[in-house]
Structure 1
Amino acid sequence: MFRSYLRLVLFAVGLLVGVQIPGFINDYSQRIEAHWQESEQSLSGFRQTAKQFFNGDLDALVAHYRASSDPVFASDANSLTNLLVRSRLLDAEWQAMNGPWYVRVWHVAFNANPDLFKETYDGYRYQVLLAPEAIAWGIGCALLLAFVVELLVLGAGWTLGFNRTHKVTQHEQRPWR
């Protein structure tokens, strides 16, 4: 009986953990989009200047700033370079988060930007979404967790000799009398 309740608790934990996955991925995606939009807005003036004088090439604008003898322009070249690097990073993240669901899951699990992942994790509030994908993730994680733990427990029990049936030889048999 205790094993049955333990299995139910394990299943419930897996379910609650599983329904967090789509919520976290959604929060990460929204954070990326917000930072990406902010980055694009920060570069909009520079994009107009590059479009007007360098056929839209922001790298040529940076090179022009670097080549200037004015120390203010040289300093602005460094600032603009930092903005471009950040923009390209956010654009790559944004592109990854606009793919199919399995690409987003893989990206967040294995390729997410560590700073943005930590920022999302620090701001994440646990939630129980009742969206179909959250329910599917919850049930999938619950079944997987229950299956893995059951296999581990049964494997350990088998290895240690629990639940093995003892074969009775003919010499060990005793009459009922």
Structure 2
Amino acid sequence: MFLTSIFRAYSRLAVFAVGILLGIQVPSFVEQYNQRIDAHFREVNINISGFQDTADRLFDGDLEALIAYYANSNDAVFESDAGSIRLVVTRYNRLLVERSALDSNAFAVAMHVMFAADQEFYQEAMRQYSYTVPLNSIAIQWGLAVAIFITLILDLTIFIFRKYYGLAKLRKSNVAHN
């Protein structure tokens, strides 16, 4: 009984410590993701600028009209380039959506990055992520919040399991006695 109690206490401490270590990564990962989105946006902005200039001069700024013109051209090079321009425009729009999602409060940004981020950029950020142990107030707050949340979820799960298991055991004993 004593060893079980000690094991349970140390297990909860270990879960709490893991929660802190995971939680302090959140602001750092969000920052690295944001930097990655910014870098990609600057790059795609340069790539699209020439096409946007042409669209501004000849199609009242409508890139879709420029793409349609290229696609409907009798020139095979222009037809081929229509697909390339569409890829650049699509990427630009995806990055624009990500940038607007990242322009919010810290909690909303973290939730977006964890649960709704563009998967291509998220996976790229995960592959390139360098783990850090920042000791600033935001990282510590995130660490404590995640640790408390994970510990609370674990405790509630164990509580519910014990309640359910206890009720099932009680029902079995009542059925056996009747």
Instruction: Give the TM-score category using the shorter length.
Output: 0.7 to 0.9
Tell me what 1:108 maps to.
113
Letter in 2 for 1:40: N
Task: Give the 3-state SS of the residue equivalent to 2:135 in structure 1.
Answer: coil
Q: CA deviation at 1:44?
A: 1.1
Tell me what 1:60 maps to.
65
Greater shift in the superposed pair: 52-61 or 79-88: 52-61
Structure ID, larger Rg: 1
Q: CA deviation at 1:153?
A: 3.3
Q: CA deviation at 1:152?
A: 3.1
Tell me what 1:15 maps to.
20
Matched, 1:42 2:54: no
TM-score relative to the length of structure 1? 0.81
Gaps of 5+ in 1: 162-177
Tell me what 1:75 maps to.
80
Letter in 2 for 1:148: I
For each residue in 1:116-170, what CA deviation from the matched residue of structure 2 results, as whole angstroms up to 9, or x when unmatched? 1111111112111223221111001111222222333344455556xxxxxxxxx
Greater shift in the superposed pair: 148-157 or 11-20: 148-157
Within 1, Cα distance between the matches of 2:48 and 2:124?
A: 23
Within 2, Cα distance between the matches of 1:111 and 1:102?
A: 13
Q: CA deviation at 1:32?
A: 1.1
Within 1, Cα distance between the matches of 2:165 and 2:73?
A: 76
Q: CA deviation at 1:37?
A: 1.0
Letter in 2 for 1:30: Q
Tell me what 1:51 maps to.
56
Q: 2:125 aligns with which of 110, 120, 123?
A: 120
Within 1, Cα distance between the matches of 2:159 and 2:92?
A: 51
Within 2, Cα distance between the matches of 1:23 and 1:106?
A: 14
For each residue in 1:63-82, what CA deviation from the matched residue of structure 2 results, as whole angstroms up to 9, or x when unmatched? 22123211111111111111
Greater shift in the superposed pair: 103-112 or 30-39: 103-112
Within 2, Cα distance between the matches of 1:54 and 1:34?
A: 29
Tell me what 2:3 maps to.
none
Within 2, Cα distance between the matches of 1:77 and 1:145?
A: 50
Matched, 1:149 2:147: no
> What is the number of equivalent residue pairs in this alignment?
161
Gaps of 5+ in 2: 1-5, 167-178
Q: Percent identity?
A: 39
